[in-house]
Structure 1
Amino acid sequence: IAAAITSQLGKAKLPTHIALAAQGSGLPRDSVILLEQIRTLD
């Protein structure tokens, strides 16, 4: 399963958006996981 991640923190706050801090995640910036955009990979 893959989910889209964006660093645009101004996105609408939806129940499907999960905040992800850069510190401890290995990402260069604070980000938001967009769980309404999940995909399954085969």
Structure 2
Amino acid sequence: MSKKLTVKQISLNLALDEVKRLETYCNQTGRAKTDVIRELIRKLPD
């Protein structure tokens, strides 16, 4: 049985250098920007 996720869309403003850094990382790792951001959020302390 699969679990249905509830999601909420957000908008994020980044400086140009932050966007470039994120895109470079994603291109090097083959990962989607959304996945990288989600992983970073999950690593935040509770």
Identify the TM-score tier after normalising by the shorter chain: under 0.3
Larger RCO (CA under 8 A, 6+ residues apart): 1
Q: Which has the higher helix share?
A: 2
Structure possessing the higher radius of gyration over alpha carbons: 2
TM-score normalised per structure 2: 0.23
